[in-house]
Amino acid sequence: METMANTFTVEKAKTSKIHDVDFNNLSFGSTYTDHMLICDYVNGEWKAPKIIPYQPLSLDPSAKIFHYGQSIFEGMKAYKDENGQAWLFRPLENFKRLNKSAKRLAIPELPEAYFMEGLNTLLQLESDWIPQKPGSSLYIRPFILASGTGFHASPADEYKFIIACAPSGAYFSGKVKVLIEENYSRAANGGVGYAKAGGNYAGQFYPTQLAVDKGYQQVIWTDDNTHEYIEEAGAMNIFVRINDTLITGPTSDRILDGITRKSILDIAKDEGIATEVRKISVSEVVEAANNGTLKEMFGAGTAAVVSPIAGFGYKDKDYDLPELTNSYASKLKQRITDIQYNRAEDKFGWRFKVQ
């Protein structure tokens, strides 16, 4: 891997905001650390990254991000163990997926060293911002946006890669009630659903608000063609437990290749839990709910890790899921978080030490 030790620059903030932060009452992603990484793509190449004080961006009104939506991002977390050592969870997977998203949106791919060394250096600098309270972490948002200008519909010629961080508490608390979507789609075949593109999420907000107005917290997305198969839960991958088998849909043009999703499948197999990766029909889920074989449903993603679903609505009828004392959701979440916080053996080699 190419390194960039001789070209990396760090400009430290003159004062820190950390003393103004109540680390015992952190909301998710709304308090930002003292520094950020920034790197510009100009004249056909990525320039050397810089770490600078966290600050607003200055963009021309004709910057293509505003008009054609060339924007991608990743979601990651840094964790601190009881000894104060900082850790990342499978960061190379985030890097690979960022470049996969970049390629789909005609954004120049990023060198691995810029991502990995830049992130490691930033986290060393912001180490005191990583909370140690159980359930808390430092949320990390790497993203790329089109800063090149012009109203013509074409890829930009300039981009900005940025990593910003936010100390955060738990993303969700408790179980959620979801509505199976019958009309709107999150993504389509041949589209950008598998990329972490900003527009994917913007398109979710309106249907989700309609569900919220009906008393639900989230939407379960169905396929764009027939709406017969469930695909994702809100902004997360979805798992369904029927009897003692854990099922999730296959990745595709429409479904994000979630890092938490992959980790859950590996841990489930290690736990001896039967898993299936296949299409899941809405009718199968409804039938299982009616005959009592539907044991659990949960979302899986970086922010919440695992978000249990208490019940779902479909065709103006609500279905409640049973309360389990030893759920797969709780067991799998515990296994993952124990690895993330360095509380247990990492037999998969997923933990990355910040040093």
Q: What is the pLDDT of residues 165-176, one digit of tens each?
A: 999 987 766 779
Evaluate whether 262 touches 303 at the Cβ level (below 8 Å).
no
Residue 5 has pLDDT above 60, yes or no: no
Residues in the chain: 355
Q: Give the tens place of pLDDT for each residue, 98-138.
A: 999 999 999 999 999 999 999 999 999 999 999 998 889 99
Measured in Å, how far apart are the chain's first and last C-alpha atoms? Answer: 17
Pairing of strands 274-277, 245-248: parallel
Cα–Cα dist 75/302, whole Å: 6
Cα–Cα dist 314/180, whole Å: 5
Question: Residue 203 is inside which H or E element, if any?
Answer: helix 198-213
Burial class (CB in 10 A: 0-12, 13-18, 19+), 159: buried
CATH class of segment(s) 9-168: alpha beta
Cα–Cα dist 238/231, whole Å: 7
Cα–Cα dist 2/114, whole Å: 9
Lowest mean pLDDT among 30-39, 140-149, 163-172: 163-172
DSSP state of 1: -
Cα–Cα dist 50/38, whole Å: 5
Domain boundaries, the chain: 9-168, 176-340
Residue 242 has pLDDT above 60, yes or no: yes
Residue 41 has pLDDT above 90, yes or no: yes
CATH topology identical between 9-168 and 176-340: no
The verdict on domain 176-340 having CATH code 3.20.10.10 is yes
Residue 34 has pLDDT above 80, yes or no: yes
pTM given for the model? 0.95
The mean pLDDT value of the chain amounts to 95
Q: Give the tens place of pLDDT for each residue, 44-92.
A: 999 999 999 999 999 999 999 999 999 999 999 999 999 999 999 999 9
Residue 4 has pLDDT above 70, yes or no: no
The predicted pLDDT at position 173 comes to 62
Residue 1 has pLDDT above 70, yes or no: no
Residue 281 has pLDDT above 90, yes or no: yes
Closest of 53, 51, 55 to residue 38, by C-alpha: 51
The predicted pLDDT at position 77 comes to 98
Burial class (CB in 10 A: 0-12, 13-18, 19+), 336: buried
For residue 68 the two structure tokens come to: 């054609």
